[in-house]
Each structure stands twice: as structure tokens, then as C-alpha cells.
Amino acid sequence: MTSFLRGKQAGIQRDLSAGLDASLLTIDEVIRYGINSQVSTLAYDPVQSLLAVGTKDTKFGSGQIYVFGQKRVSTVFNLPRKASVRILQFCADKLVCVDSKNDLSVYSLETTRILGSYAPPGLITALVTDPTLDFGLVGLQNGEIIAYDLDRLNLAPLRIPNLWRDRNPRARLLPVVSLAFHPRDIGSLLIGYSEGAVTYSFKSDGPKNYFHYQLPAGAPGGDSEANPASQPRYPKLSQALWHPTGTFILISYEDSSFVIWDPKDARIILARTLQACNVNQPGAASGIAGSGPGTFAIKEPLFRVAWCSKENPDDTGILVAGGFSTAEPSKGLTFMDLGPTPNYATSSWQALSGHFESPKRQHLLATPPNAEVVDFCLIPRKSPHFAGASDPIAVLAILASGEIITLSFPSGHPINPANQLHVSLTYVHPFVNRIEMAFVDRTKWLGMVENRSQGPPLLKGGAEARHPIMRFANRNILQAAHADGTVRIWDAGHGDEIENGAVLHVDVARAIGRYENIDIDLMSMSNATGELAVGLRTGEVAVFRWARNADFGRDVPHKASKAFDLEKIVDRAEPGVKEGLLPFTLLEQQQGPTTALKMSDVGFICAGFGGGSLVVIDLRGPATIYDASVSDVNSQANKRSSFRRNSQSQSKAEWATRIEFAVMSLDGDDYSSICLFVGTNLGRLVTFKLLPESHGGYAVKLAGSCSLDDGIISILPIDADSGEPAEASPELVAGLRSGSRVNGVLVAITRSGARIFKPVAAKGASKSWDDFLCHRAAVVRFETHIYALLGLFGDGCAKIFSIPGLKEIGSTNVSHTLDAQRFAEAVITPAGFIFGWTGPSEIVGLNVWGSGQDLTRSLDKIFNPEALIPPRPVISNMQWISGTQYVTPTDMDKLIGGPDRPPSKRMIEQMRADEEAQRAAARQEASSSKNPPPGRQEEGYWAYMQRQVQERTESLGLAGDNMDKLEDNSEGFAKDVNKFVSNQKKKAVMGSKS
């Protein structure tokens, strides 16, 4: 009975939710975007062109492994236990992971499943793999090295003891810090312990050289301020790596210095930091920037060092993360371009030292201000060898905050991740502060493809799985506002096929004209035109429109041009964008932060600000057609209200919180018009009419206002007869010319209740929520013509209410999936999808009309079996002549796995592939010998008979020649026999006479 009365009060004659019941409210997890937790490590495979991202175990989510390929290709690997990812390495068709729970896990790229997990008897401190080997060498905290068979998933017989104890038997704890194969001689291993490094030979099963770094008294070392040079010191080792040709060894230490060694006789060639050289000599300058009288500056450790090379491995450079002074204002990655390496055999010791002391160039790969790089991952062009540092094209850097930045290499220019990396990675590139969603027509979105100057793609691997295509549904176009003042726009989909997966990039900071203090609060995109409005915390509203850039390829200075309180910013378009969402106009209201913003589908924008002002813009000018204060508007509209209510409202600041455009007939009108509804933080709902004027423009006229019980969070205009949305659209506005009428009502949602009424008056049906506040609500559609009200509430539940009865139909808890504290930032689509935050950098799409399944598992293929691993580089001729014994990966299989180890699965598959290729070649050769030449396929019957006679004649002639030769041969043989018999008779007669 209550529902019936509410329907009559609301002016809706039928139940728009007929047929809905609680059993239909079942949640499906459809899709996830973003990274669930803080990024801990990265790995890249140039053969498969895949990027792996490992995360930490935090309160927002457990550690996971994401593998990304081209476009939207991705898959997620879960760890055996709740832990953080510490080490990630690609190895042929496998991905090897070491987590914080000390588990060594092996994942298959082909099946996207975990193959096995192993917990060694000690703490894993280092790992090294090679794409040509089936083994991973694991360094332990006790200094031992064990070999794990990645193919058989068990331990191999090889075990290398702690070699440094032979050098220092008194040392108690000597963990393995670093492991590296020789780039050309796989039979040599560089082992880094905490006290020094050792080169180990698999051939001789023993150490070759020891590398122990000692700073004499008076030597500054890497950081003389933190380590007084009054006594000899032995810095702890942090990383050891080879020169790309194996000619030298670089060892970095915890005092921010690194030393170049000669691997043959373990001599120091040069000890230096990023700022100074010969720091191992007494009296040398420390080179710490910012150190001086009254200051105390220390250096950061060297977080990561990579010895890079161009396509020619002798042309090298050193890339360093860290090593800066704490007083440095700007930090980043340092690249020392060393140039071609001197010939070791013919160069003097001074020439070798000078090569590393005076690089060709040393420059900084800049990062954002106050951003500290703690790790990085190089993106090689082709080769997986040379420790993943061969001819890199870009570098992905991990910041201390967990964000990622992409820089070109070696220039260091920032690379826009849009259409280069998976959209999930953009959530940490940098962090996303806010999301909004528009529901754009499919045809319109297919045409919105940005034309931008862009480099070659970084990720090209994998193949997307096929999904059903929703041809007649609007696309869920997500707008993500990032911390650097950019907005990226892309299709989030419905778990269906993404036909246009491109990302649109909008540089709001450039459009505003500054790159500091850019905090995006609100975004609104038109469903019909694709126009975008962006509101900032500093009070500006920037408008972007799809257009072609007249200044493409040119960075022209901005020419100030202001009219109707709007500034023209067309010339602030990015020079590299030929066509896309370009800056159009700018409103600088200077009335506090933007609190409400709406871009209509019919050419109007309305924005509310924290100072209480309300502005309406007609984009056809563009021009400001209305500018007033919300409090002034309410004082005009509430003349009939009581003195008590007016005095209470005047004592509090009031600003707009929700704005909506609609087409409907207001209460008492016999015609429909374009209406503007504005809800405030004090629960007032103000109604305006947008009426055409004689000169072709529009005027904004106040129609009235009403008061609700709390701050308004949603204004939902619907058609009272059908339940369809009554938002202002080109179709509804076009119908106004012919006199069509829309019998519309408003569904106004506050934090404490809901009301359905026909504006302007607040008469209608109302309902108060029970014990929990509502944070987000929208009208959703089930199937074709069934509508209901869906809301997210403070108890962590999603609830559905009938329209117009506002009776609760069903409720389900979603707090185990969504972050209940961020319900107000969620988006509810008309089709019944909820896009909400699960953590700081991940969102999930939920379908409330589902079947209770988790559909987020990816079916994409990420492994390409036809992408072959190139052969491993081998030793040079000079090394072979000098006595270096060449060891092949096959020899390593025997040295590590033992002589009784059967062939690995990869070797068996390779042999089968070789045999199949041989059989195919044999079949092709046999078929080609049987098939006639191409010219004979079109000959006629008489030509065929003539060719047959000619061939038979040639065959008979050949047979006759063979018979003649046989006759000649037989005659010659008979003559030889007769001659031999005659000679024997003659010898017999002469012998009898004698």
C-alpha cells in the first residue's frame, strides 16, 4: 500500500520495477583495471615483448604478478602464499619469481599457470637465469649457491659452497648479494658476496679471482661525510656486473662508489663516484654536492647499476639509479656514455683508466621534482642477452612512491604511456586521483581515434582473446585524472570486445598554462559530442573539443584573447597532436575549488564553485550566459519560505554539489523545455529554464527551488511514462520545435533519503534511509524496460529500490571487493555496472545483474612459440687463441644437471620440431619432383601428344646410345681377355724351354 501511495504522490502511474526480485541482484566481477598494490619490481622479455610487474603485500592487496603485452593483452599470476614479489626474471617460456616468503615459483607463459614452487633451506638473496639454460642459480644467505631445474622442477646436483670463506674464514655472515653470467662465456660466473666478489669457473669447478675493495686511511671513498677517513675501511658490496663483452667488471658498493676491475688479475682500474674519481686514493676530493661549512650532506646508495651497450657491445655506457647527495634539488637517473671500449690487448693502463675517468658525456635522465628512483628496467630492442642491457630503447623507472615513469634512452625524454603501455599501468604512471565515466554512442567512439606523433611500440607481444561484441550499447568511456595534471580517456567496456582500445591523452596543465598546483577535482564529458570539461581545485574550468590542430608540429606562443569572461586557449594544443581532444576555452572564476560540473549533450556547461558562484556557458559562442551566487538565487526563490529557514540558511555557506540538464515539463507548464537542476550542500534544489531568445542565444531563467533533508548527491531525471532517462539530449531538444512533451520527474538522492517528485515543488514520494548513509546512487536498467534505483551505502552494501515505490528489493555486500571508504568516488552506469576502487590504484567493474561468478581471469595468449631466442654470444677469436675454453649451453646442462639428466622438455620439443621440418622439406622436394613445370599446366591435347612422342624418341635415342656403349665396352673387354690369355701361354712356353 505504501508503494502504491508513493507512486501516486510521485506522479508515476505504473510500477517501473515490476518483475524485479532479490534473486536477480547477484554480483559478477567482470573486469579489473590498475595495479592492486605498490609496485616492487619489473622485468622485460625482448623476445616475447612482454613486461612483468610485481607488487608488494600491503593492506590494500597481496603481492601479484602482472604480465602485459600489446594493447589490452594481460594476465595475472597469484603467489603461492600471501607475500611480496622481490625478484622477477623471464627465462625462455617461463617466468621465475622469488617472494618475501622465500618461495621460488615458476610460471608458464604458454599455459599462464604456475608450474611449481620450491622453498630452499635458506633465505634467497640472489637469482640468475639465462634464456638458453633450463636452470636457475639461487644465492642463499649462508653464501652457498644451489641450482634449480626449471624444467624438471627439482634441485640439480650442482652446489657451489661459500667461496669467500677461503679468503676470510673468520667472517660470520657472508650472503650472496649478486650473481651474473659472463655475457660471452657462460662457463664463468661472477658471484658478489657482502665483502667482495669472486669469479667462478664451471669448467674447473673452482674460483679464479677474488675482488676485495679496501679504502686506505685518508681516502674519501664514496661518502667521506658519513664515513670518516681516519682508518682503513672495507665498503660492503651491493652489486657486481660484467662489461658487455666481459672485458671488465663493475662492482658497486654501499658507500655510493663503484669500482672498475680487471677480471684477469683482479686489479683496480678506477674507483669513482658519479661526481669524483680516484676516491680510493688518500687526499682525493669527495665531490659531494652541497657539502660545505655549516652543512651536512650524505649520499644516497646506488640502488641499481646497469652496464648498457649499443648494437655494438664494445660501445657502452653505465646507467645508475641513486648516488646523489641528499642536498641535490633534482634527482633522476645518471647515464655515463663511455663510447667505444679501448682495445684491452694494445691499450696502456693509463688509457684504460682514462676511458672510465672521462666519459664522452654524462647527463641526467630527469624525473619529476622530489621523485627518487629506487629501481629501473631497461627495454632492449631485440636481444635478451647481455644482462638485458643490449641496445635499449627506453627505461621504466620505479619511484620510491611506487609510481612508474617511462623515459627514452639514452636521451631521457618522458614517454607518454598512452597507447604504449597497458591501461592498467597508467594507474601508477602517475597515480590516478579521480575517475568519471561517460556513456558515449558506439559509432561516435569508434571515430574518436587520436592522431599523435609517437615512437615505436614498447610492448608488441601476446594476442587478445575474442569476446562478444555489444553493438547496440553505449560505451563506458572512463576519464582518469592523474597527479601530473593529465587526463586519459579510454573504453572500460562491459567485459566485452573493445573495438577501439586507443587512449586519448589530454594535457590539462598545458591548457591552463602552468605545470604547478594542478589538482583536478571534477571532469564531465558529453555523451553525444565527446566534449570534455575539467574543473580544478584552484577554480579554473578548461574545456576541450575534438578538432584538428592548426599548429601541428609547431610550439607557438600563447596569445591572450578573452571575451565573455572566457579565454581562448586553442593555441595551447600539444604540437605532436594532429587531431584529438584539443583545448578550446578557459574559465577562470577565482571563486574557490570546483564543487560541481556538468557538460551537457546540447552545448551547455554549468559549473559550481566553493565560493557559492554558479556559471552557465553556452559553447556556441562560447559565452557566459549566467553568473550568480547560489545563496542569492535561493533568497529570490524562497520568498515564501519561513523566516526561520531563511535565517538558518544564511548562517551557513552554500555551494553546488550536483548539476544536471534535462528536458521535461515543469509543474504547471503545458510545454517542455530545457531545464537545469542544481543541488547544494544544504539540500536545496534550484530549477532553471534555458529559453531561446530572439537573437539566437539562450537565457537562463529561475523557475524556483525546494528544500530536501540533506546535501544532494544525485539528481536523476526520468520519463514518468517509460522510466527512460530524461537528460537533455539532441533528440529531445530537437523534439521541442515540434511541440513534443516529456512527462518527467526527478529522483533526487541525498545522503539520508530519496525523493521522487515533479519539479519545481518538492511534493512527491519520499523515503528515509535506515541507519546508514547513501554515498552514490543512480537509476539502472534491467533488460529493456525495467528500471530501479541502485545505491551504495555506508554498511558496505549495494541496495536496489523500486521506482516509484522506493521499496527495497534486494541487498548484497560488496565491501569485500570495493573500498567502502571510497564509495562516493564510484561510478554506477545505466546498464547496472559499478566501477569502484579496490585500493589506491585499482578499480573493478561489477555487474549487479550477474550470476555470482568471477569473470576477471584473462583468456589472452601471452606466449608466441614462433618467437625464437637468438643464439647466445660466444667468446672472441682472441679469447679462444689465448686459451679460453669455450663452453656451450649444452655443456652447461651436463655440468649443472649431471651426465644422467635426460633431455629437457624444451630440447625434446626442439628435436621434434627439427625432425618435422626435415620431413616437411623432404615432402616438399618429393612433391616438386612429381609436379610438372608451371608452363605445362596450360598445354593442349595435341601439344601434350607431341611432347610425349618427343620424350619417347629422346628416351629411345638414349637407350640406343647406352647399348652402343655397352657393345663397345664388351668388345674391349673381350680383346683384353684374349690378350691376357696369349701372354700367359707365351710365358708358359718360354718357361718350359728354359
Q: What is the pLDDT of residues 864-891, one digit of tens each?
A: 999 989 999 887 766 666 566 778 888 8
pLDDT-based confidence at 941, cuts 50/70/90? Answer: very low
Q: Chain-wide mean pLDDT for the chain?
A: 87
Is residue 560 within 8 Å of residue 567, measured between CB atoms? yes
613-636 residue pLDDT tens: 999 999 988 999 999 998 888 777
Between residues 964 and 578, the one the model is more confident about: 578
pLDDT of residue 764: 83
pLDDT at 912 over 60: yes
Q: How far lies 636's CA from each of 485, 628, 632, 706, 916, in Å? A: 39, 12, 6, 12, 87
DSSP line for 843-895: EEEEETBS-S-B--S---B---TT-PPPPPP---HHHHHTTPPP--HHHHHHH
Contact 78, 63 (CB under 8 A): no
For 459, residues 6+ apart whose C-beta sits below 8 A from its C-beta are 49, 50, 51, 68, 69, 70, 73, 420, 421, 422
pLDDT in tens, 852-864: 888 888 899 999 9
- pLDDT, one tens digit per residue, over 665-699 is 998 888 999 999 999 999 999 999 999 988 888 99
Q: Is the confidence at residue 290, as pLDDT, over 50?
A: no
> Quick one: what percent of the chain has pLDDT higher than 70?
87
Q: What is the pLDDT of residue 306?
A: 97
Q: Cα–Cα distance between 45 and 380 in angstroms, integer?
A: 8
pTM recorded for the entire structure:
0.87
pLDDT above 80: residue 131:
yes
pLDDT, position 786: 93
For residue range 389-418, what is the model confidence (pLDDT) as tens digits? 999 999 999 999 999 999 999 999 999 999
Pairs from 864-871 (Cβ < 8 Å, separation ≥ 24): 864/48, 864/461, 864/462, 864/463, 865/93, 865/110, 867/47, 867/48, 867/461, 868/47, 869/47, 869/92, 869/131, 869/132, 869/384, 870/47, 870/382, 870/383, 870/384, 870/385, 871/132
pLDDT of residue 326: 74
- Phi, then psi, of 633 in degrees rounded to 5: -65, -40
50 pLDDT more than 80:
yes
Residue 452 has pLDDT above 60, yes or no: yes
The predicted pLDDT at position 980 comes to 57
- What's the mean pLDDT in 830-835? 95
- Mean per-residue pLDDT, 458-485: 92
Q: What is the pLDDT of residues 318-376, one digit of tens each?
A: 999 998 877 777 788 999 999 999 998 889 999 999 999 999 999 999 998 888 899 99
Q: How confident is the model at residue 936 (pLDDT cuts 50, 70, 90)?
A: very low
pLDDT in tens, 590-601: 889 999 999 999
Is the pLDDT at 96 greater than 70? The verdict is yes
Which neighbouring-strand residues pair with 283?
A: none
Is a pLDDT exceeding 80 seen at residue 791? yes
Short-list 778, 716, 801, 708, CA closest to 750? 708
Encode pLDDT of 201-232 as tens digits.
Answer: 998 899 999 999 999 888 888 876 655 556 78
Residue 641 has pLDDT above 70, yes or no: no
* pLDDT value of position 197: 97
Give the residue, 195 or 900, on which the prediction is more confident.
195
Average pLDDT for 237-257: 95
pLDDT of residue 289: 47
